[in-house]
Structure 1
């Protein structure tokens, strides 16, 4: 057995010691450091004994344990356990245990009156390389969170906090920011980018009982922090807007120029192959001419004023333009048929005229022979 100095138990019970002090002094007890300079404590060798939350009342106890016996995670065969039993019945709350081994510091609780402890949980500890792990004893980044595929790795916000309910319909009730710092000599702690989850009143005016949430992305040009402005937003309905907060109900809205190597538009409505069906009513050229004179644009095509105020739908506009091309094709086919019929009629007429001219030539030739014959008879 080893002797250590112990701080009076009533200091733990009254809450005069912080968790940090408790951890430091607990480590001191196990490393024979005189932390408090008061009464002595014995570390009990109970390595193969399984204890329950009911085993201690109104005291602090230190034990040398076999790690497998207490089902502790971590490393090494043995571990040191500190048990804090703040009271003698359930009115004092739970009993607590701290467990120190080569894998880290762990804790668990047990409700007074229960025969079993809760599962061990590892305290978040900074590794020698500065990394912090949650759910892992070997963090590979400054913050390494190990979570299963079915659980949340991070939750941001406080449940059951409505924020500012007294806002107009469609106004923000609050939100949560994740900020990324950049550098400028006059403002070293400048925020260069931000991801913001923003809540919106979607219930009624000045009564935000129902709230939706958008995800907004901010960046800064680096001049100063006031240049941190929103550049993109994903709305609660799944609409994406770039350069504007309002997608106007469209799934993708861009306020500015856009370039792409390829854009595919897949329409849900019918492609205008119906123009070539027998029951399609083709507007006559006379009617089209009349519409152009009255309206100043083709039938079925938006006017310049409409395009300026409402824009154009690329898919619908391409469909309308194809419809006009197909109608022009029908006009050309009609004109070709008419021209072909006229050419056939003209060719038939020409053939008839040629035949008539041939007969007339024959008549002339016969007349010439008769005249010649009469002339010989006279002379």
Structure 2
């Protein structure tokens, strides 16, 4: 190789010079941003491609430029390198040349295809993985813009979790698909929690129920919506109200009211609040009918008693008259 080693004291290079200009050379020069370089500093350039015509290099490949910054304020703390592209396609882009002297500097950007580590990864900034950018305010952005939707950015792992953020509204999706949440297994936002199937609190065995709680529950209000009808049928004319004699016989035989669960059944299977409320209301309505009937009987007895009292007074008057006649 016919190499040239030249250190020049003035600005003689321009970043637009073709890579092949430096082929078969090795030279240094002080440069500036005004000439198209990253900033003030020193550039080493050279190459060893022997392709030439009449002694003039004809190939951009195998040529490099290595830029060393003048200072931290003028060029930064990391060298940069760019390579001549084969087939006379000019220069590649400037890439940071990381060394042990600058790799731990907080002002240096890393760019790599893969990152393998056997220890922890820590950062004071933000992390973007497979995303074109880190969204404002997010610490981690994964597949941030993969759905090409304005409200689908922030944190996401396809297909498990996607964090979608819009102004004053936040959502977590579990089982997220590209339909923007319509088929998600769970959605948590700042107004509600939606679960497609079952929730277990303190237990993983929901026994087929949508919500299972192993422990105590306290609430200011609980509303139960029944699928079956309410027991107002008790007040219909065709309803056959059991006689009190029949009720007494059932209690003596079974030990509990008819159409009600036994103690053993409750201990084994628990109770359905809505169904039990309906059964209790049925018993209250039946008791109401018994009381109405008893009230009618009492009134009839009162009327009969009043008649007997009047008859008794008339009889007493007649007896006294008869006694006076005898005298």
Q: Is 1:130 the counterpart of 2:89 in the alignment?
A: no
Alignment correspondent of 1:38 = 46
From the superposition, tell whether residues 7 and 29 of structure 1 become closer, same or farther in structure 2 (CA, over 3 Å).
farther
Greater shift, 135-144 or 288-297, is seen at 135-144
- Match for residue 351 of structure 1 among 307, 310, 319: 310
Q: Is the 8 A contact 2:47 2:62 kept in 1?
A: no
Q: 1:135 to 1:356 in 2, by over 3 A?
A: farther
Alpha-carbon distance between aligned partners in 1 of 2:184 and 2:276, rounded to the nearest angstrom: 34
Note if 1:143 corresponds to 2:155.
no
Tell me what 2:281 maps to: 322
Change (3 A) 1:32 1:293: same
Q: How far apart, in 1, do the equivalents of 2:133 and 2:211 lie? A: 40
RMSD: 4.9
**Do structure 1's residue 269 and structure 2's residue 228 form an aligned pair?**
yes
Structure 2 unmatched runs, 5+ = 1-12, 21-35, 49-59, 64-81, 96-108, 110-122, 164-171, 176-182, 187-192
Structure with greater helix share of residues: 1
CA contact (8 A) 1:5 1:36 kept: no
Aligned residues: 217
1:266 Cα shift? 2.2
Q: Where in structure 2 are the equivalents of 1:172-191 lying within 5 Å?
A: none
Change (3 A) 1:254 1:137: closer
Shift, 1:306, TM fit: 0.6
* Cα pair 1:272 1:319 within 8 Å, conserved: yes
Note the C-alpha offset of 1:242.
0.7
**Of the candidates 209, 218, 227, which is equivalent to residue 259 of structure 1?**
218
Deviations 1:326-353 (A, max 9, x none): 1111111111111211221122122112
Counterpart position of 2:246:
287
TM-score by length of 1: 0.45
Structure 1: runs of 5 or more not aligned: 9-27, 41-57, 62-81, 89-96, 106-127, 159-174, 179-194, 199-211, 216-232, 369-379
Structure 2 residue matching 1:280: 3-state secondary structure: coil
Aligned to 1:91: none
Give the Cα separation in 2 of the matches to 1:156 and 1:350.
Answer: 92
The 1:98–1:38 alpha-carbon spacing in structure 2 relative to 1, beyond 3 Å, is closer
Aligned to 2:68: none
Give secondary structure in 2 for the equivalent of 1:322.
Answer: helix
Contact in 2 for aligned 1:131/1:139 (Cα 8 Å): no
Q: Structure 1 residue 2 and structure 2 residue 14: aligned?
A: yes
Aligned partner of residue 336 in structure 1, secondary structure: helix
CA–CA separation in structure 2 for the residues paired with 1:256 and 1:319: 25
Q: Go from structure 1 to structure 2 and tell me whether the alpha carbon gap of 1:322 and 1:138 turns closer, same or farther (over 3 Å shift).
A: closer
**Contact 1:240 1:253 (C-alpha < 8 Å) held by counterparts:** yes
Shift of 1:140: 2.5
The residue matched to 2:200 in structure 1 has which SS? strand
Rounded to whole Å, the distance in 2 between the matches of 1:329 and 1:273 is 12
Structure 1 residues 137 and 302: alpha-carbon distance in aligned structure 2, compared to 1, 3 A threshold: closer
TM-score, with length taken from structure 2: 0.51
SS for the counterpart of 2:288 is: helix
Q: Are the equivalent residues in 2 in contact too, given 1:5–1:35 (CA < 8 A)?
A: no
